[in-house]
Amino acid sequence: MTIVSDIMASVLSAALAAPESAHAVASAVEPGPWWVSLIPALPMLACILCGVCAAMRVKSKLPAWITVGCLGVSFALTVAMFQQLAGGRSVTVAWEWINIGWTDTHGREQRLLANFGFYVDSLTCLWMLFVTGLATLIALYASEYMSHDVGAGYCRFFAAFSLFVFSMACLVMGDNLILLYLGWEGVGLCSYLLIGYFYKKPSAVAAAKKAFIMNRIGDLGLALGVFLTFVQFGSVEYKVILEAAQPWIAAAQAGHFSEIPATVQLIPILLMIGAFGKSAQLPLYVWLPDAMEGPTPVSALIHAATMVTAGVYLIARTYPMFLVSEYALPIVAWVGALTALVAATIGMAQFDIKRIMAYSTVSQLGYMFAGLGVLTSTGAAFHVFTHAFFKASLFLSCGAVMHGFAGQLDLRKLSGVGKMKGWLVVTIAMLVGCLNLSGFPFTAGFFSKDMILAETFVTPGMAPIGWILLLTAGLTAYYTFRVFFRVFVGPKYFEPGDEAHAHDDHGHGDHGHGDHHDHAHAPETDHGHGKAHEFHPHAPGWAINLVLGTLTLCSIAAAGLYFMGDHGGWVGKMVHDSSAAIPAVAHDAAHAADGHGEAAHAVAHGTFLGMDPHKAMYYVSGVIGFIGIGVAFFLHYLGRTTAATANADKLLPMLGPIPRLAQGKWFVDEFYDLLIVKPLHLISIVFAYVDKLLVDGLVNLFGWIPRAFGSSLRPLQGGNLHGYAVQMAGGVAVLLLIVYLASIAGL
């Protein structure tokens, strides 16, 4: 890993040579305004009020309006917090939470201080703007989407929804790792509750348990990282940790990684494990596609826009810690790139449109991790921001289709939806989302993805990752428009899902969508002419259309942020003023130096086929996106006369077992089941018998001995006079025998 040491040293040398490089870490932390505490408090208030609604048996949409109102005010306060920040840092302490002091064995005073306080800088504002903004929009969408379950289930849904936003706010805004961990576990709990919302459906319950257990694996790494951070630095507060890491960053700058203690370099490795679990990276990614068993608003908010980006936030927030490790960022880059590729290959072969979007989320998260690993935290953060809007738009568009077509999600059973009355807004939202996800030129997704791709070739030693991500970009464009061409254009045709038989979108109890559950299960003809008593899809109402329209406009407007400043635009400035600034400033310093200076040259030396990657990638990524869209057009739109068949079907025999393996998700779940689940199950059976036969056997033996002794003596106290006489006579006989034997023996 000598090359890695040289790369990290050159980057840090360029970063720390820049006059403003230490701004984010060294700037003073000011006391923040009290009302910042209201941002997480309002979602918690909504959760409590939804619980009151459940206790009072409210059977209206009141829980939804309470949630939308509280989250809307929270978003407004977030905007105010951003406007007041002005590039500085502040901490608002709501109350003293953990304050424990003691004296260690060496007589030194130690203290664990973790207040319920909120650390506000530009990175906090960046995340909270889309967390609260999207939460408000998706809550409004859910008010209509979940209307079939008005009553106890409606209250339960919005209570868990609000609790999730509170937990996410604690995770992002917390001024210490303990509060971050509280929010981290809180979003995990809410994910479990919301994925398993349809608790009468076994697959939903299994998916909820799978998500919970897989996240616990990563959370163990995060917990150990928090423990080791306190042991090494004596604090869990960001302002203390980031300042204490400066000497080790200086050592890394000089390339002296051997001088950095192994425990310090181990901290980011442990934090990274937690990030991989929460953000669904290899090998802990398999829970996210199954999480689509939850209602679509849950998929859009938790599993596309907010919770799954928590791992990216964790690494960005603690970026100085990752810079002092020789191995952490290269591992992050490679895991991210491989995750992006694997998830894209699986997404190409799926037929459930929500699961395709789920694998797309896993793939795009891989892009974000790769961006962090190749030292463009700006590119990673920008992609987080743009992805939040267009992926929420994609999920909610799929949810609108699912809601209107009785739960149907199979792209082989839907076609020409965009031509049907009332579906124009959904179709436009889907198209804009697909263009962004495909990296179509001049969309927000194009600019954010381009920044990451360019930096992979700029950063020495990372070019192979760049080629992997370029291949993934082409696959992404293909499978994204595979969905659009199959579902929204082409001949008009549909088959309703299982909800046509009075089931809801995931078979929850006996609640069906009242708009359509009385219709018969009969498809429309290829020409779109329905028959009497057939199922009739219902177009979305005002709430769903309003949310989709707003997200579409946000997805388009996000592209303009790229031009609001240099080197990443508005998002770049936000990252520059935060703890994730050092790598971004390193590249800024290197490019500003025009190659002068050894450190700057080392950083800016990489090229793409002899060209400047930042200039060439505009054209290369655009061409690759066009190729992917073109292939999808030829294979899934051109000449298609039915919903179930397309030109792609003719290619499948030529690819051998690959399509079957990809449709089977490369059988990773089966591999885990064979390698981990079944051996653990066998071991549990063995230990169960050990417990039953050995442990319980010994316990039962020691219980049986006194019982047996008592049972043998019990006849002596039977209350029968004749028995007592016989016993006395027997006793006298025994005594006489003992005396006789003793006399014979001379005793």
Q: Strand pairing partners for 352?
A: 410
pTM of the predicted model, to two decimals? 0.87
H helices of 637-720, in order, are: 648-651, 658-663, 668-672, 678-689, 696-713
367 close to 445: Cβ distance less than 8 angstroms: no
Cis-peptide, bond into residue 613, ω within 30° of zero: no
- Token pair, residue 68, equals 């939308």
CA dist 7 and 587 (Å) reads 12
The predicted pLDDT at position 487 comes to 94
CA dist 10 and 366 (Å) reads 25
CA dist 128 and 75 (Å) reads 8
Distances (CA, A) of 672 to 104, 140, 204, 220: 44, 39, 20, 19
Q: For residue 72, how many C-alpha atoms fall within 13 Å in the half-sphere facing its CB? A: 9
Q: For residue 297, how many C-alpha atoms fall within 13 Å in the half-sphere facing its CB? A: 27
Per residue in 21-33, pLDDT (tens digit) is 444 444 578 888 9
Which DSSP helix (H) or strand (E) runs through 494?
strand 493-494
- Token pair, residue 255, equals 């390339």
Name the burial class of residue 553, with classes exposed (0-12), middle (13-18) and buried (19+) by CB atoms within 10 angstroms of its CB: middle
238 close to 271: Cβ distance less than 8 angstroms: no
Between CA 553 and CA 154, with CA 356 as vertex, the angle to 5 degrees is 70
82 close to 60: Cβ distance less than 8 angstroms: no
What number of other Cβ atoms are within 10 A of residue 80's Cβ? 14
Q: 660-678: string of b/e by CB count within 10 Å (b at 16+)?
A: eebeebeeeeeeeeeeeee
Name the burial class of residue 189, with classes exposed (0-12), middle (13-18) and buried (19+) by CB atoms within 10 angstroms of its CB: middle
Least Cα distance to 217 among 293, 283, 119, 154 occurs for 283
3-state helix, strand, coil in the chain (%, to 5): 70, 5, 25
Q: How far is CA 124 from the centre of its chain?
A: 18
Q: What does DSSP assign to residue 30? A: E
Q: How far is CA 150 from the centre of its chain?
A: 28
CA dist 541 and 371 (Å) reads 39
User: What are the counts of helices (DSSP H) followed by strands (DSSP E) for the chain?
Assistant: 32, 5
CA dist 455 and 367 (Å) reads 12
CA dist 669 and 674 (Å) reads 9
CA dist 581 and 591 (Å) reads 15
Low-confidence ranges of the chain (pLDDT < 70): 1-27, 86-87, 305, 499-533, 582-605, 718, 747
CA dist 489 and 42 (Å) reads 42
Amino acid in the structure at residue 469: L
H helices of 146-284, in order, are: 152-173, 177-195, 202-233, 238-244, 246-253, 262-278
Per residue in 435-475, pLDDT (tens digit) is 999 999 999 999 999 999 999 998 888 999 999 999 999 99
Amino acid in the structure at residue 660: R
**3-state SS record for 60-128:** CCHHHHHHHHHHHHHHHHHHHHHHHHCCCEEEEEEEEEEEEEEECCCCCEEEEEEEEEEEECHHHHHHH
Name the phi and psi angles at 140, rounded to 5.
-65, -45
Q: Is the four-CA dihedral 109, 115, 120, 126 of positive or negative sign?
A: positive
Q: What does DSSP assign to residue 415? A: E
